[in-house]
Amino acid sequence: MKGYEEPTTTFIEILTIIIFTIFVLGSLLMVTKFRTDARLATTKRIMIDFGENVLSASCLTNEKNVLNETKIRSEFEYYNSHKNDKDGFSCLETSIPIKTIIQTKDTKWEFGNAIGKKFFPIFIFPAVLLKDDGSTVPATIEIMIEAD
Amino acid sequence: MKGFTLTLSVVSLIATILIGVFISFVLGIMYSFHLYITKTLIIEKIYSYSNAQDALLSLLEMKKEGISFKQALIYSMYENTLEPKIYNGEKEIVYSLKDVAKEFLDYFYIYDDYWLFLYNTSTQKYETILASKNNPEKLFSDPKGSSRAQVPLSKDYYIVIYIKTTD
């Protein structure tokens, strides 16, 4: 019986240590993931607010939701000479690097110093672009951040 | 003494498992709550509704031959037609609300469903301007996954848009 009890006790102790280690590591992993996701939720909220601000920015629009082509061209020149600006706009400011794409069927402008191959998540805001000739076309404003 | 060591080991094992299960349970609740907050509050309540509102406000600013959609809507109510005749300073044009709305909404919601209509609150009647599918009443009878925005045009009239995005 002696020869049977000793390996069983040792085995249970080893098993306890292994399970305890797995739970500790798993918990740390989940807490880290939770913190990352919680931060991303805040980021999403910032991105939505930023998109709404772009829709009514004085340096881009005539009035809310009406983008002005001339102002966008002017802002694009500003962005090209101020590459360190996190958002790329002279009249807006963000705490995180954000990429903004203003796009119509024919034209596309990109702003912001968020660089990378993958961007996540993307929020799209509908708008209207008032062209230089006075006509309007549908436009989208895409807001994205660089993926971690 | 050996029996005591064995009992202690078994108790430790069970305690570790119970603590682990408890930690997993708490983290599961935290994670579920976080997903709920993100999806329900940020995406469904904030983004979807602001998106519908922005789409409607943008549509009102769409112009055709110098006449904006919101101006055409006023003419439409007075002339009681979805194709009002409007003088734009140079000539009289037939302004098709449906065509302008289609140009705009198809650009954004090519894969989604939408329903744009005029609603009279006094008679509780509506007139569809444009819908992505036939029988939109049935499509939007289930509010799940759909968002709505409306803008008042006069005391009794509203322009309303319903949008249902496909996941």
Q: Kindly state whether residues A47 and A10 are assigned to the same domain.
A: no
CA atoms within 13 A on the CB side of A7: 3
Mean pLDDT across chain B, nearest whole number? 88
Q: Kindly state whether residues A85 and A139 are assigned to the same domain.
A: yes
Find the angle CA(A138)-CA(B162)-CA(B107) to the nearest 5 degrees: 20
Q: Kindly state whether residues A15 and A72 are assigned to the same domain.
A: no
DSSP characters over A83-148: TT-SS--SS---SS--EEEEE-SS-EEEE-S--SS-EEEEEEEEEEEE-TTS-EEEEEEEEEEE--
Q: How much is the ipTM here? A: 0.78
How far, in Å, CA of B91 to CA of B157, rounded?
28
If we measure between CA atoms, which residue out of B17, B23, B19, B22 comes closest to residue A15?
B17
Give domain status of residue A1, yes or no: yes
What distances in angstroms separate CA B52 from CA A16, A136, B18, B156, one per listed residue? 55, 19, 48, 21
pLDDT of res. A96: 82
Residue with more model confidence, B4 or B129: B129
Give domain status of residue A117, yes or no: yes
Confidence of residue B131 (pLDDT cuts 50, 70, 90): very high
| pLDDT tens per residue across span A40-75 | 777 888 888 899 999 999 999 998 889 999 999 999
Give domain status of residue A35, yes or no: no
Q: Kindly state whether residues A62 and A127 are assigned to the same domain.
A: yes
Q: Kindly state whether residues A51 and A80 are assigned to the same domain.
A: yes
| pLDDT tens per residue across span A104-128 | 999 999 998 776 666 666 889 999 9
Query: Is some CB atom of chain A closer than 8 A to the CB atom of B34?
Result: yes
| pLDDT tens per residue across span B21-35 | 888 888 788 878 877
- Asked if B3 and A5 come within 8 Å (Cβ–Cβ), the reply is yes
Query: Is some CB atom of chain A closer than 8 A to the CB atom of B29?
Result: no
For B30, nearest residue in chain A (alpha carbons): A34
Confidence of residue A24 (pLDDT cuts 50, 70, 90): confident
Q: How many distinct structural domains can be found in chain A? A: 2
Q: Kindly state whether residues A71 and A133 are assigned to the same domain.
A: yes
Does this model's pTM top 0.80? My answer is no
Structural domain boundaries, residue A24: 1-30
Give domain status of residue A37, yes or no: no
Return the number of CB contacts < 8 Å for A and B: 110
Give domain status of residue A135, yes or no: yes
Alpha-carbon radius of gyration of chain B: 28
Q: Residue A33 above 90 pLDDT?
A: no
